[in-house]
Each structure stands twice: as structure tokens, then as C-alpha cells.
């Protein structure tokens, strides 16, 4: 279901303007409207230049458009603003693993999530895949 600006405004009327721009950007990203999404995220950053979520979404958008370098930069920015943003750490790890083939960096990111947030099952899953690919079957099963 496509959401219009009016529908999103009604749904988000309790949210801050920054959050409204971010939600609109997410919808545009899902629709493949990247220029519109970027415009909304830039508006969110004008309101709050320290928005870790806006930077994270810019990273997601860059990833979808195949701009791995920008995705890496935006994920790192979001983590500089909020080191506890574990879903950004996970996405950065997946970017390193699957797209950039920088396995050691991927392991570092997933290990960080496991250490700081041991309930985050996806980090364990990704580490298991990497260790299996490297032939470390024993480590992959742990």
C-alpha cells in the first residue's frame, strides 16, 4: 500500500517534524524514490544535525542504490553519533561481508554487537555464516 504525504501526516501527528521526515523518507526508499527520500532526510538533518536515524537511513538508501562507499560512510556517521545503534553495526557488518568482501571487518562489527548486545541473534547468525564459509565448522556451530 502506497502511503501519501497526507496519510503519513495523519499517522505521525504525535511525532516530531524530524521523525515525520524520516518516516516519509522510509516510504520513499521503499518505493524506489531515492531523490525524494534524500530530500526528506536532509530536512530531518536540518532540524537535527545529530540525527543518527537520518544518517542510518541515508546509509540504507545508498546501499539500495549500489553506492557501497556512501553506505559505509553514513553507517559510520550514525554510529559516531550513537555507538549503541546496533542495527547500524549489523548493517555495516553485512555490507563488509556480502558487498565489500572485507571479512575481517565484518567479523569485528558482528563481534561488537555480540559483546555489547548478546541478545542480538542476527549477529550470531552472521558470524556463523562467516565461520562456516571460512571452514571453521566448530566455531560456526557455537
Cell numbers linked to 94: 553485512
Distance CA 91, CA 139 (A): 22
Query: Could you report the per-residue pLDDT of 41-71, keeping only the tens digit for each?
Result: 999 999 999 999 999 999 999 999 999 999 9
Distance CA 125, CA 90 (A): 11
Q: Where are the beta strands (DSSP E) in the chain?
A: none
Query: Could you report the per-residue pLDDT of 87-137, keeping only the tens digit for each?
Result: 999 999 999 999 999 999 999 999 999 999 999 999 999 999 999 998 887
CB 21 within 8 A of CB 44: yes
Amino acid at each position: 500500500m502506497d502511503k501519501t504525504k497526507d496519510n503519513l501526516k495523519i499517522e505521525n501527528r504525535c511525532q516530531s517534524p524530524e521523525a515525520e521526515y524520516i518516516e516519509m523518507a522510509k516510504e520513499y526508499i521503499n518505493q524506489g524514490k531515492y531523490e525524494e527520500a534524500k530530500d526528506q532526510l536532509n530536512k530531518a538533518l536540518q532540524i537535527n544535525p545529530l540525527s543518527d536515524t537520518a544518517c542510518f537511513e541515508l546509509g540504507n538508501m545508498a546501499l539500495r542504490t549500489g553506492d557501497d562507499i556512501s553506505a559505509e560512510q553514513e553507517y559510520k556517521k550514525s554510529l559516531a553519533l550513537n555507538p549503541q545503534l546496533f542495527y547500524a553495526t549489523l548493517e555495516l557488518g553485512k555490507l563488509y561481508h556480502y558487498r565489500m568482501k572485507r571479512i575481517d571487518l565484518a567479523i569485528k562489527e558482528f563481534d561488537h554487537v555480540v559483546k555489547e548486545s548478546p541478545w542480538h541473534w542476527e549477529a550470531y547468525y552472521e558470524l556463523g555464516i562467516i565461520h562456516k564459509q571460512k571452514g571453521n565448522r566448530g566455531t560456526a556451530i557455537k
